[in-house]
Amino acid sequence: MNEFRKAPALEVSEWFNTSVSLKLEDLRGKVVLLHAFQMLCPGCVSHGIPQASAIHEYYKNRGVQVIGIHSVFEHHDVMGKKALAAFIHEYRLEFPIAIDQPSEDQDIPLTMQKYRLRGTPSLVLIDQQGRVRLSQFGRMSDMQIGDSIGQLLAESKGSDVLESNDPSGVSTDKNNCNTESCSI
Amino acid sequence: MNEFRKAPALEVSEWFNTSVSLKLEDLRGKVVLLHAFQMLCPGCVSHGIPQASAIHEYYKNRGVQVIGIHSVFEHHDVMGKKALAAFIHEYRLEFPIAIDQPSEDQDIPLTMQKYRLRGTPSLVLIDQQGRVRLSQFGRMSDMQIGDSIGQLLAESKGSDVLESNDPSGVSTDKNNCNTESCSI
Amino acid sequence: MNEFRKAPALEVSEWFNTSVSLKLEDLRGKVVLLHAFQMLCPGCVSHGIPQASAIHEYYKNRGVQVIGIHSVFEHHDVMGKKALAAFIHEYRLEFPIAIDQPSEDQDIPLTMQKYRLRGTPSLVLIDQQGRVRLSQFGRMSDMQIGDSIGQLLAESKGSDVLESNDPSGVSTDKNNCNTESCSI
Amino acid sequence: MNEFRKAPALEVSEWFNTSVSLKLEDLRGKVVLLHAFQMLCPGCVSHGIPQASAIHEYYKNRGVQVIGIHSVFEHHDVMGKKALAAFIHEYRLEFPIAIDQPSEDQDIPLTMQKYRLRGTPSLVLIDQQGRVRLSQFGRMSDMQIGDSIGQLLAESKGSDVLESNDPSGVSTDKNNCNTESCSI
């Protein structure tokens, strides 16, 4: 068996979209996805954040907790709490978001340091036992993320985790194609 | 434990992109993804087939066998073997593709009937024991497909199926954003 | 003044989506856009044909006639009249489409030869006087096409061809952003 | 002949990406495209600004001057000069951008008021004589923008503004399709 690193505690100066501070140790039994971003990072805005929102939407009732971390390591003076609040409001983000605690003497904030992230966007997957299982800087495909989460979700379960939705009969619709599909 | 239906044998009149006929019973221990399509189905061409190609590309060395099934249920006379061969050539498809055996007295071909598919594109997931676990008509997100395959792959393994790629250190790149990301 | 070549007459064996044969000499005073394609050309299906449909939709009441030309120069036996009819039906194409008259002794059909097209998709713009003004093989941006058509439309008019839609007053909507815009 | 409104002078507190202040009266003979945006407007970031960059890229040597206007009417305190500078840097914007002069007593800045804009993104087209010819709030297609600019560019010219690039001969490439096209 591999040895996995226990996920370090999050260092947070402020939370958005949650009435309570989220702590990793309270999330045992769930898969946790950390999405580190900066509001002025173009790749975060164009694909990282929309992807995190899609993960939140798909998995929120399936045992996965998405947490955004605003890990500012540049342009600190224009990506403060008030700017982030406006950003979250205008982009209508719904998942919990934490401000990564700034360092007193370095540009890189504390959670980012502890997780050894290389930049933004970064994605970290923490398994149901609280261990770091994946840490990826840059773009990651939806398929790969789904695959990774699916595997982590399956670890705690017995076999047959995927429910069948094998249809019981043939549709009676008439031959017809639209842009999505052709039905019998 | 749920009862799952054993995947019916494929009924095939012709194979492309494989030197041998693929049989489901020879694929135990692998997850099998069937992608049913028609070459004149717009939704198949725009998203179903590109998605099947992406699944093949990502999973071909990860225990998943993608099989395309050309399940023609309309316009039979212009979607024959020769037309399909030209289509596969021009679209540069690389995964194995079977022509679903036409029925002698119905529009719907035999494999499509046995799997009770409702149209094209359809996607069927068969687990490592040869049982139908998912059957979906129409568009399915990459994330959901990845999640489903990840869960099926995890069933036969012990824990810790996902290898960690937690980075061992911080990058020394300078602050820099491109369209994909900002690095420290 | 430049010398422009008079657009050669179309050589057509069959028309779709029109009750009458279209002749270029009857279209003087209109800008004519020829879109040459093949139904088994991936680039045509993914971007050329959708773009031709968008041009037709935007310009059909603005003095522009879009004409599709099915210029088959390969796989002739599987891109015949019946296959094209199924393709037009399933893709719900609405603009007039001609089958380029096959050559008796060459792969390249007659209209394609006369217009010296290099492949599919190709786009030809014919001005209001019936002269070839642009002939482009491969992908062309919507902006460049709009620019070219706009210039050709403007040639026959006096100044002030573009109607103003300068708004007369400020909206009374409240501050509000959606994915498209933020209104005052 | 229609009566068009003379484009009001720009009210600007700061310029980026230009060593000199741009004045509309110095731009007679050019078509001017004003793109009003806010850096925290999602629709501006996802499509408006990329479109303005594409217009700048295509038309910068074709008689069109693109000018961005940062017209802040909400969240004023987090969209100041320094924040905008970081935004322009990270998004690598290259066209001239002006900060719309804030009003002393209203949320809406002065240029935005004078042009009666309804929100962001907005696009204003000014003809070669300095008159407002189009003002559009929200998304506008590339084709429509190209068409409008093409028409305005053509107004000052004689006929035959579009140079022909009718090819002089047939390619000798072999039959070959890629994702973009099929060549003869």
Residue D179 or C40, more confident: C40
Q: What is the SS3 assignment for C115-143?
A: CCCCEECEEEEECCCCEEEEEEECCCCHH
D153–C113 C-beta distance less than 8 A:
no
Residues C126-156 have pLDDT tens digits of 999 999 999 999 999 999 999 999 999 999 7
D78–A78 C-beta distance less than 8 A:
yes
Mean per-residue pLDDT, A166-180: 58
pLDDT at A175: 57
C-alpha span between D14 and D91 (Å, rounded): 19
C149–D150 C-beta distance less than 8 A:
yes
pLDDT at A180: 80
pLDDT-derived band at C90 (thresholds 50, 70, 90) equals very high
Half-sphere exposure at residue D59, Cβ-oriented, CA atoms within 13 angstroms: 30
As given in the structure block, the two tokens for residue D101 are 């002069």
Rounded to the nearest integer, the mean pLDDT of chain C is: 91
B43–A138 C-beta distance less than 8 A:
no
pLDDT at B103: 97
pLDDT at A174: 54
Rounded to the nearest integer, the mean pLDDT of chain B is: 91
Q: Which residues contact C88 (CB under 8 A, 6 or more apart)?
A: C16, C17, C97
Does this model's pTM top 0.80? yes
Residue numbers in B near D90 (CB within 8 A): 177, 182
Q: Which residues contact D120 (CB under 8 A, 6 or more apart)?
A: C181, C182, D36, D37, D38, D41, D43, D44, D48, D71, D73
Residues A16-49 have pLDDT tens digits of 999 999 999 999 999 999 999 999 999 999 999 9
Residue D44, pLDDT > 80, answer yes
Residues B8-34 have pLDDT tens digits of 999 999 999 999 999 999 999 999 999
Mean per-residue pLDDT, D139-147: 97
Residue with tokens 């969209």: D79
Mean per-residue pLDDT, C87-115: 97
Residue numbers in D near A40 (CB within 8 A): 83, 86-87, 90
pLDDT-derived band at D156 (thresholds 50, 70, 90) equals confident
A75–D42 C-beta distance less than 8 A:
no
Say how many Å lie between the first and final Cα of chain A, rounded: 49
Cβ burial A82-112 (10 Å sphere, 16+ → b, else e) = ebbebbbebbebebbbbbbbbeeeeebbbbb
Residue numbers in C near A177 (CB within 8 A): 90
Partners for C (CB, 8 Å, 3+ pairs)?
A, B, D
**Nearest-by-CA chain A residue for C181:** A90
Of D90, D177, D182, the CB nearest to B177: D90
A162–B133 C-beta distance less than 8 A:
yes
Mean per-residue pLDDT, D138-144: 96
Rounded to the nearest integer, the mean pLDDT of chain D is: 91
Question: Above pLDDT 70, what percent of chain D?
Answer: 88
**Nearest-by-CA chain D residue for C107:** D184
Residue D171, pLDDT > 50, answer no
Residue B130 CA to its chain's centroid (Å): 15
Residue C106, pLDDT > 70, answer yes
A-B Cβ pairs (cutoff 8 Å, strict):
251
Question: Above pLDDT 90, what percent of chain A?
Answer: 82
**Candidate from C167-171, D78-82, D148-152, D166-170 with smallest mean pLDDT:** C167-171
Residue C156 or D94, more confident: D94
Chain C residues within 8 A (CB-CB) of chain B?
A: 40-42, 45-46, 75, 77-78, 80, 82-83, 86-87, 90-91
C-alpha span between A133 and A125 (Å, rounded): 6
Residue numbers in A near C182 (CB within 8 A): 90
C-alpha span between C33 and C152 (Å, rounded): 11
As given in the structure block, the two tokens for residue B177 are 């954003």
Of B2, B151, B177, the CB nearest to A154: B151
CA distance C54 to chain D (A): 9
pLDDT at B160: 46
C-alpha span between B124 and B44 (Å, rounded): 15
Task: List residues bridging with C99 in a β-sheet.
Answer: C14, C70
Of A113, A118, A163, the CB nearest to B171: A118
Of D148, D168, D184, the CB nearest to C108: D184
Residue with tokens 């792959």: B153
Give burial (CB, 10 Å; 0-12/13-18/19+) of C27. middle
Mean per-residue pLDDT, D104-108: 96
C-alpha span between D114 and D122 (Å, rounded): 13
A149–B154 C-beta distance less than 8 A:
no
C41–B90 C-beta distance less than 8 A:
yes
Residue numbers in B near A47 (CB within 8 A): 180
Task: Determine which of B90, B182, B183 to mutate to test the interface with D (most D C-beta atoms within 10 Å).
Answer: B90
Residues A115-135 have pLDDT tens digits of 999 999 999 999 999 999 999
Partners for D (CB, 8 Å, 3+ pairs)?
A, B, C
Residue B167, pLDDT > 70, answer no
Element spanning D144, H or E:
helix D142-155
Mean per-residue pLDDT, B166-181: 60
* Cβ contact A34:A52 at 8 Å: no
Mean per-residue pLDDT, D109-129: 97
CA distance A90 to chain C (A): 6
Greatest CA separation found in chain D? Answer: 68
As given in the structure block, the two tokens for residue D116 are 């009666």
C-alpha span between D107 and D17 (Å, rounded): 25
pLDDT-derived band at C179 (thresholds 50, 70, 90) equals confident
pLDDT-derived band at B66 (thresholds 50, 70, 90) equals very high
Residue numbers in A near B181 (CB within 8 A): 41, 43-44, 48, 119-121, 137-139
C-alpha span between D64 and D58 (Å, rounded): 9
Chain D residues within 8 A (CB-CB) of chain A?
A: 40-42, 45-46, 75, 77-78, 80, 82-83, 86-87, 90-91
DSSP state of D91: T
Residue numbers in A near B182 (CB within 8 A): 38, 41-44, 73-74, 119-120
D167–C118 C-beta distance less than 8 A:
yes
Of B119, B146, B155, the CB nearest to A144: B146
Residue numbers in A near D77 (CB within 8 A): 82
Mean per-residue pLDDT, C39-49: 97
pLDDT at D180: 81
Residues A63-114 have pLDDT tens digits of 999 999 999 999 999 999 999 999 999 999 999 999 999 999 999 999 999 9
